[in-house]
Amino acid sequence: MPAWLYELIIVVLKGVGVAFALLTTFAYMTLVERRLLARMQIRIGPNRVGWNGLLQPLADAVKSIFKEDLNITMSDKLVYTLAPLIAITCALATFGGLPAGPPNSFFGANPWVYSLDIGVLVLLALTSMGVYGIFLGGWASGSKYPLLGGLRSAAQIISYELGMGLSLLGLLMLVGSTSFRAIVGWQGDHGWLILFQALGFVTFFVSSFAETNRTPFDLPEAEQELVAGYLTEYTAIKWALFQMAEYVNMITASALMSTLFFGGYKGPQFLNVLIPGISEWPFIWLILKIAVFLFIFIWARATLPRLRYDQLMRFGWKLLFPLALANTMFTAFYLAYLKGWGLWPLGVAGVLGVAALIAGSDRVRPLWNKPGVRVLDDAESPRSKTRIVGGD
């Protein structure tokens, strides 16, 4: 067998394996999320299908596959059908570029589907393309509520993509590479990048919620305002594909934050004293870190209320974007003129920036949530009706 054909078969098998793992994780993430939300809300959650409800994802899959697929009269049939396929394809393609272990550690093969020197840029590009599925699905449905949901999603992605990209510039300047393997290797030598880019992590973390359309940034499908947003006219397997894309994007965002800021597949080095080489075991540490972030996503959904759309946009442009830009400029200045001091002063400055942001949260809140003021229509008549004047 030619070497190129052998390599191609290995890549295809790894791609199929990653897709299968992601879709299986998506299926059981729906169960885990429902059980955790029930626990947080003092309920029981799904527990009827199978032992402790473990077969609930299978029942949901069967229902989605065999449910009637409605024919929308006013829809653009081709685009309406392609939109969920675009969303899930971009979501699945994104995860393959993240390394899950050292080279040749997966039965002699590399634990990643593809590895590029511009891996960070490719991943950001693929996540940005995923919004085409949402926007086209909203437009092709031929209804006003899906169209409004699609427009919201496009504006939201554009707004928060800028903050997300700027959040990573400081990190990339420190490492000097956009390769995920180089970033993980740098953290193995110098420490997790969360220690030196705390403010960058905070802005990236918040942007990840907006990118994945998760609470409190789930405006494209706000059921109180838009019925179900871009999902309104979708049923059966097409609806399920959009749900798959959302959860796979959430898993990818968790893996991305783990890789960029928390050492990726590398575990704590001190454990090598107990079990030699345990910190380099493939998959284990990355999966554990992903699980922590997935829990935070679910926790936020159970805790935080949805923002208004005007609050969402103001928050992105008036707070998140300036913070990410300030972090980038400060990191560039430090590396250009103060690099001889070492990296720890940069880490201390980042922690102080996060502490100042938390301490001054009440002062910066009016940037995106200006309180209304009650004023009288007629100052001479105390019994006259009052009106609310908002911040805008």
Residues 328 and 204 sit within 8 Å (Cβ to Cβ): no
User: Which tokens in the block code for residue 156?
Assistant: 């939201």
Residues 100 and 17 sit within 8 Å (Cβ to Cβ): no
CA distance 221 to 138: 10
pLDDT score, position 294: 94
pLDDT score, position 223: 60
pLDDT score, position 126: 87
Q: Tokens 């994802």 — which residue?
A: 57
pLDDT score, position 375: 55
pLDDT means over runs of 10, the chain (392 residues): 83 90 90 90 86 87 83 81 89 88 84 87 86 84 80 82 90 92 90 92 91 78 65 83 88 93 88 84 91 93 83 86 92 89 88 88 74 53 49 48
Model pTM score? 0.87
pLDDT score, position 227: 62
Q: What is the pLDDT of residues 270-288, one digit of tens each?
A: 888 888 888 888 889 999 9
Q: What is the pLDDT of residues 9-26, one digit of tens each?
A: 888 899 899 999 998 999
Residues 229 and 220 sit within 8 Å (Cβ to Cβ): yes
pLDDT score, position 392: 47
User: Which tokens in the block code for residue 99?
Assistant: 């390394």
